[in-house]
Structure 1
Amino acid sequence: MHSSLPARTGTVRRKTHETDIDVAVDLDGTGAYRIETGIGFLDHMIEQFSRHSLIDVKLRVDGDLHVDQHHTVEDSAIALGEAISQALGEKRGITRYGHAYSPMDETLARVSLDISGRPYLVWRAGFSQPRLGEMDTELFEHWFHSVAQAAGITLHIELLYGQNNHHIVEAIYKGFARAMRSAVEIDPRKGDAVPSTKGMLGTGTLEV
């Protein structure tokens, strides 16, 4: 933890008729995690995000999986994004931008992001099978869209090439993790300045 800055942690409780979620994050962690979404493959991917971003994540979801996976996937991403946004606070001193090329065997993914306060997702990736484990592959794009919206991130995800569906999604999550690790890092040259000429960065606003 940087002594000149407050603790960069966030906790969110989200309870609806469809899901009951508790999440806690520490941006200055070591990549420790405890993930329980009820969807094994999603647990594995969020664990990869935590480990490679060094953001500690505790996430518990009790969702209506007897209906389908949509609400659990969407709401877990919203809650995680909200916790990250809370932990970032005014975003003082952060690097703000991050990018990563993420190879996994025959697959290469590229992730670029800006903690801008302007949530946006560009998704240029696809899968050749409808499920991985028990998870619907169409929901991965939705997960990233929900995280970007809740955290206020401009997020570009591209599959440059790849064939194995497991490798594709894991490369994307690891690339997202490495890009986030760079973006949330404190830049010692910035002190506690907000990285914007407007002097503020807030979710849903139009700062540059």
Structure 2
Amino acid sequence: MSMRTATITRQTNETSIQATVNIDGSGQTSISTGIGFFDHMLDQLGRHGLMDIDITAKGDLHIDDHHTVEDTGIALGQALRKALGDFRGITRYADVRLPMDETLTQVAVDLSGRAFLVFRTEFSTPKIGTFDTQLVREFFQAFAMNAGITLHIETAYGVNDHHIAESCFKGVARALRAAAAVDPRQSNRVPSTKGTLSV
């Protein structure tokens, strides 16, 4: 199987983003969005998903972080979708329960070609440092819609908002890593009775 990698460039009046994903990488990342906490979360996504991720984003941070976070989710989702190709040979489904200190988050993913997000995670404060906690959901919404995946994220319990956010990103990383892995028992087949997962 050839390397599953793709690059997406997204240019709008609000942001300029380039995102490269190598699904079969080793977790190497180079991330620069101008938003420190977000960079940290995207680094977790690559590191624990064993995906090489390279992101350069320049956005209207003088307004707020929203456009940059959402558009990075769009670009990264599109890059993942492109890198997955025709989904041939993938495991497709995966789930994980990810503990981080006092927090437990459950993530389930279906690399289905159908975009859907269920996000059942609550934060007790509006910000983690200067990062708006509402943007965690916004990122995953943009990411799932543009990757064409069904993604369920639910935090069962937790107290520290940094831990809650980080457990979401690490949980998604581990679930994506398992779901995108090639299943040697069906390495040349698309894992669907329809014969296609490309919508």
User: TM class by shorter-chain length?
Assistant: over 0.9
- Percent identity for Structure 1 against Structure 2: 53
Secondary structure of the 1:189 match is helix
Q: Which runs of 4+ in 1 moved over 4 A?
A: none
Q: Does 1:193 align with 2:189?
A: yes
Alignment-derived partner of residue 33 in structure 1: 29
Please give the alpha-carbon distance, in whole angstroms, between the structure 1 residues aligned to 2:187 and 2:82. Answer: 20
Which runs of no fewer than 5 residues in structure 2 stay unpaired?
none
Secondary structure of the 2:114 match is coil
Q: Does 1:174 align with 2:163?
A: no
Q: 2:41 aligns with which of 39, 45, 50?
A: 45
Using the TM superposition, give the Cα deviation of residue 79 of structure 1 relative to its aligned residue in structure 2, in angstroms.
0.2
Letter in 1 for 2:73: A
Q: 2:102 aligns with which of 106, 111, 122?
A: 106
Please give the alpha-carbon distance, in whole angstroms, between the structure 2 residues aligned to 1:30 and 1:191. Answer: 21
Tell me how large the CA RMSD over aligned residues is.
Answer: 0.7
Alignment-derived partner of residue 82 in structure 2: 86
Alignment-derived partner of residue 180 in structure 2: 184
Secondary structure of the 1:112 match is strand
Q: 1:60 aligns with which of 37, 56, 59?
A: 56
Please give the alpha-carbon distance, in whole angstroms, between the structure 2 residues aligned to 1:135 and 1:180. Answer: 25
Secondary structure of the 1:74 match is helix
Using the TM superposition, give the Cα deviation of residue 94 of structure 1 relative to its aligned residue in structure 2, in angstroms.
0.3
Please give the alpha-carbon distance, in whole angstroms, between the structure 1 residues aligned to 2:3 and 2:127. Answer: 39
Q: When the two structures are aligned, how many residues end up with a matched partner?
A: 199
Please give the alpha-carbon distance, in whole angstroms, between the structure 2 residues aligned to 1:57 and 1:74. Answer: 17
Residues 40, 133 of structure 1: 8 Å contact kept: no
Using the TM superposition, give the Cα deviation of residue 134 of structure 1 relative to its aligned residue in structure 2, in angstroms.
1.6
Secondary structure of the 1:157 match is strand
Letter in 1 for 2:123: F
Alignment-derived partner of residue 125 in structure 2: 129
Secondary structure of the 1:60 match is strand
Which runs of no fewer than 5 residues in structure 1 stay unpaired?
none
Secondary structure of the 1:17 match is coil
Q: Deviations over 1:34-77 (max 9, x none)?
A: 01011000000000010000000000000011111111010000
Question: What is the TM-score with the length of structure 1 in the denominator?
Answer: 0.94
Q: Deviations over 1:114-169 (max 9, x none)?
A: 00111000111110111112210011101001100000110100010111111111
Secondary structure of the 1:42 match is helix
Please give the alpha-carbon distance, in whole angstroms, between the structure 1 residues aligned to 2:112 and 2:129. Answer: 34
Using the TM superposition, give the Cα deviation of residue 6 of structure 1 relative to its aligned residue in structure 2, in angstroms.
2.2
Secondary structure of the 2:185 match is coil
Please give the alpha-carbon distance, in whole angstroms, between the structure 2 residues aligned to 1:135 and 1:61. Answer: 16
Q: 2:71 aligns with which of 61, 75, 92?
A: 75
Alignment-derived partner of residue 20 in structure 1: 16
